[in-house]
Structure 1
């Protein structure tokens, strides 16, 4: 049986690598870490992993991305895979988008950019202990 997957989605490579580094530092090899640079790539990756019967347990997604915004991505993911825990990062999401993600995607938490590593890790720990 393969390890559960944490998926990080952000259009900025430096943010993606920072997320992966912080998560891997905290959780080591307990999880696999996948990265996507936009919502479309994330949805394709989720479908591929699902076809391979690999389990994504958590998504950390940026809100402001070209194409599809993070709240829309998380709503779509929730419709197909309601058990995936969802965390949104934002420096500029409007309140309506954040509320939509809570209401329609069962958002676990919204973290403000720049986030603190300890806040991110604590949020993930809480999310995965549900």
Structure 2
């Protein structure tokens, strides 16, 4: 059986690399860490996994070209309702966050610049719901 996957989505490669480093520092090799630079790339990646239970967490930025984070998380929730969804943003408006809470079962919204400890605690509390 392969390891579960945490998928991070952000249009800024530096942020993706920081997220991966912080997650890997905490969770070591318990998970695979996938990175996507757009919502469309994230949706394509999700399609590549053989079972819908492989990706267990998605951490997504809100303001990205193309699909915004709340729209992405809603699409993910419609197809993969068990995935824990976290929005990480510096610019989401309250309506977008509320939409994600209602239509995507958003677990948490963190604001940039985030704190590594807060990110890890958020992921762990999401994983505890599985």
Q: TM-score under structure 1 normalisation? A: 0.97
Distance in 2, matches of 1:4 and 1:129, equals: 14
Matched with 2:55 is: 56
User: What is the correspondence of 1:47-126 to structure 2 with a 5 Å cutoff?
Assistant: 47-49=47-49, 52-53=50-51, 55-126=54-125
Distance in 2, matches of 1:104 and 1:116, equals: 26
Shift of 1:110: 0.1
SS in 2 for 1:29: coil
Q: CA RMSD in A?
A: 0.7
SS in 1 for 2:28: helix
Greater share of helix: 1
Q: TM-score under structure 2 normalisation? A: 0.97
Matched with 2:36 is: 36
- Structure 2 unmatched ranges of 5 or more: none
Distance in 2, matches of 1:21 and 1:90, equals: 18
